[in-house]
Amino acid sequence: MSAILPPATLGMLGGGQLGRFFVLAAHEMGYKVWVLDPDPNSPAGVAADRHLKAEFDDYAALDQLAAGCAAITTEFENVPAGTLDYLAKFVPVRPSADAVAICQNRVAEKTFLANNGIPHAPFAPINTEADVRNAPSVLFPGILKVARFGYDGKGQARVANHDEALAAFQAFKGEACVLEQMLKLDYEVSVVLARDEHGKVKCFPTAENAHARGILDVSIAPARASGCQRDTAEELAERIAEQLDYIGTMAVEFFVSRGELYVNEMAPRPHNSGHYTIDACVTDQFEQQVRALVGLPLGDARAHSAAVMVNLLGDIWYDPTQPGPDSHGHYREPDWSQLLAIPNLKLHLYGKHHARPGRKMGHFTVIDADPAKAVATAMAARTAIG
């Protein structure tokens, strides 16, 4: 198709911080954006030109979105595939429902990896208690994950043996799961890339990711891995995007175990570990999402600086000595002055109304020509903010 040019209106399914950054990137380029999300206070909804406050399967709202938008994308991997298929009857929808459907279900995702010969942790689909009992012993110690709707370590249980796996499966109320072998991790990396309608791919520099309590904590880019591992990660990510015939920005998370790369999971959208691209790359992951959506050539994805991104979770808002302003807990706004005084630190707050422990409220990125200095400055800033 010929490119959709500004000031066309673009549609976004989902109103979280990823959607918000898409809105900001699209606005910078002169596009308008409509966001569909049921939450009246959603970070993207409040920044959008129009916010349709409706559920993702509200077909009247989907009709409105399709009528008002020249192309539609998503920031939320759990949007029903049927919704994307429906919208695609009227306007270009990128990525496709098929690609999203694979990424949103851990069984489909791991089966896809297996079918395409892409290295991944040994796993077994678990649909019944008998599946748990018959699970190969090599999967223990393992990790039982619900097949759908898990994120930030939610819907996961570490299990040492069949008995624990059975108890965990019952606690998940018999929901479809995967049982995965627990790998001994050297570290984790991710590749965020964009792929356009002609199949051209641009990878951002591989990021090295540290998690705390199952939630991304710090991303360092470029990853401190050997060049060879970085290249392999990019090659694998590119192969996955091709096999999915993916159009848009996507992320592939990897485990590095005993020096080998294993794909952990894919995200059919920009990714938290790609937030550093906002401040450190010529074109960021959200502008690439816009470009792929509207049919423009992808931008230059190279980094002009090393970067360290640190997530700001609701925990640092929490103060047990303060009376809570409402039922959401005891919290106060952190004092941002120290972070804002650091000249090569960029603070991003998502405007969420309620701070909760573990909730992603914002992040900051330190950029520096010297990667070691970026790490040191970011770690000192993190200590300062709590």
Interacting residue ranges for ligand ADP, rule: CB under 6 A:
121, 143, 145, 150-153, 180, 182-183, 185, 188, 211, 214, 253, 264-265
d(CA 19, CA 51) in angstroms, rounded, equals 12
Chosen from ligand ADP, Mg ion, none, partner binding at 94 (C-beta under 5 to 8 Å by type): none
Q: Which amino acid is at 9?
A: T
Between 140 and 336, name the residue whose CB sits nearer to ligand ADP.
Answer: 140
Chosen from ligand ADP, Mg ion, none, partner binding at 143 (C-beta under 5 to 8 Å by type): ligand ADP
Chosen from ligand ADP, Mg ion, none, partner binding at 75 (C-beta under 5 to 8 Å by type): none
Collect all residues with Cβ–Cβ distance below 8 Å to 58 and sequence separation of at least 6.
Answer: none
Of 380, 285, 308, 375, nearest to 339 by C-alpha is: 380
Rounded to 10 degrees, the C-alpha dihedral 272/158/185/358 comes to: 30
Q: Say how many CA atoms lie within 13 Å of 217 toward its Cβ.
A: 10
E strands of 27-126, at which residues? Answer: 32-36, 50-52, 71-74, 123-126
Between 59 and 151, name the residue whose CB sits nearer to Mg ion.
Answer: 151
Between 271 and 346, name the residue whose CB sits nearer to Mg ion.
Answer: 271
- Report the residue number whose CB is nearest to ligand ADP: 183
Question: In terms of DSSP H, where are the helices of 244-304?
Answer: 276-280, 285-294
Chosen from ligand ADP, Mg ion, none, partner binding at 124 (C-beta under 5 to 8 Å by type): none
d(CA 335, CA 343) in angstroms, rounded, equals 17
β-bridge partners, 51 = 35
Place of tokens 């050297």: 186
E strands of the chain, at which residues? Answer: 9-13, 32-36, 50-52, 71-74, 123-126, 142-146, 156-159, 177-181, 187-195, 201-203, 207-212, 215-221, 248-257, 260-267, 306-313, 345-349, 360-368
Between 152 and 238, name the residue whose CB sits nearer to Mg ion.
Answer: 152
Confirm if 40 and 263 have CB atoms less than 8 A apart: no
Between 35 and 144, name the residue whose CB sits nearer to ligand ADP.
Answer: 144
Q: Is 248 left (phi over 0), alpha (psi -120 to 50) or beta?
A: left
Chosen from ligand ADP, Mg ion, none, partner binding at 287 (C-beta under 5 to 8 Å by type): none
The least CB distance from residue 109 to ligand ADP, in Å, is 10
Chosen from ligand ADP, Mg ion, none, partner binding at 211 (C-beta under 5 to 8 Å by type): ligand ADP
Between 22 and 255, name the residue whose CB sits nearer to ligand ADP.
Answer: 255
The least CB distance from residue 69 to Mg ion, in Å, is 29
Between 48 and 266, name the residue whose CB sits nearer to ligand ADP.
Answer: 266
The least CB distance from residue 308 to ligand ADP, in Å, is 18
The least CB distance from residue 13 to ligand ADP, in Å, is 19
Chosen from ligand ADP, Mg ion, none, partner binding at 109 (C-beta under 5 to 8 Å by type): none
Between 27 and 211, name the residue whose CB sits nearer to ligand ADP.
Answer: 211
Chosen from ligand ADP, Mg ion, none, partner binding at 188 (C-beta under 5 to 8 Å by type): ligand ADP
Between 266 and 290, name the residue whose CB sits nearer to ligand ADP.
Answer: 266
At 116, give phi and psi (nearest 5°).
-100, 10
The least CB distance from residue 19 to ligand ADP, in Å, is 18
The least CB distance from residue 156 to ligand ADP, in Å, is 6
Q: Which residues bind Mg ion (CB under 5 A)?
A: 253
The least CB distance from residue 213 to ligand ADP, in Å, is 9
At 227, give phi and psi (nearest 5°).
-55, -40
The least CB distance from residue 348 to ligand ADP, in Å, is 20
Chosen from ligand ADP, Mg ion, none, partner binding at 182 (C-beta under 5 to 8 Å by type): ligand ADP
The least CB distance from residue 197 to Mg ion, in Å, is 27
Rg, C-alpha atoms of the chain: 21
Cis peptide bond N-terminal to 40, omega within 30 = no
